[in-house]
Amino acid sequence: MSEKIIYHGSQQIVEFPEIRIAKYHKDFYYGFYCTVIKEQAKRWAVRYNGYGIVNEYKYRADNALNVLKFEEMTEEWLDFITSYRMGKMHNYDIVEGPMANDTIFNYVQNFVDGKISREAFWALAKFKKPTHQISFHTAKALTTLEFLKGHEVCDEER
């Protein structure tokens, strides 16, 4: 069983993660979203008012769970996030892969709307910096997380 440290950016300490149904769908549908990139979690934490909390967890992979992992942005990844950003449900416990940040998602939306071709999407997307997300979609998936600590962060540019 492998383990790694992952981070969740929030406005509060999240000792007991939960799956919340939000107004808008994220890349991999509703879930509890984390990343292995600490700076990315910080950006998530400070996005509303310049201050937030980066929560740190130990993640222990569980081979009994239904996990989907995308190593990079691929055709399969694009099709997956397109359908789940539009509200389609899936049966994965955990999904991991690149994140369609706001810029990338605008390209995805333009692709879905027929405003750009698949080829144009890839031409635009290839210049964006790498991102990462791992999302937990079931109560059983959340049991793979152990809260370690939370610490305050701020946006130095504000």
E-state strands within 43-155: 51-60, 67-69, 94-97, 133-136, 145-154
Tell me the angle at which helices 118-125 and 102-112 cross, rounded to the nearest 10 degrees: 170
- Two tokens at 2? 């492998």
What's the CA angle centered on 40, arms 15 and 19, to 5 degrees? 40
Mean pLDDT of 123-127: 77
Q: For residue 26, what pLDDT is reported?
A: 67
Question: Residue 83 pLDDT more than 90?
Answer: no
Placement of tokens 């890839």 in the chain: 122
pLDDT in tens, 48-78: 899 999 999 999 999 999 999 999 888 999 8
**Would you say the pTM of this structure is higher than 0.75?**
yes
Question: Residue 105 pLDDT more than 90?
Answer: no
How far is residue 75's CA from residue 114's CA, in Å, rounded to a whole number?
16
Across 33-37, 107-111, 128-132, least confident range: 128-132
How far is residue 70's CA from residue 27's CA, in Å, rounded to a whole number?
12
Name the pairing type of β-strands 32-34 and 133-136.
antiparallel
Q: Which domain holds residue 108?
A: 3-154
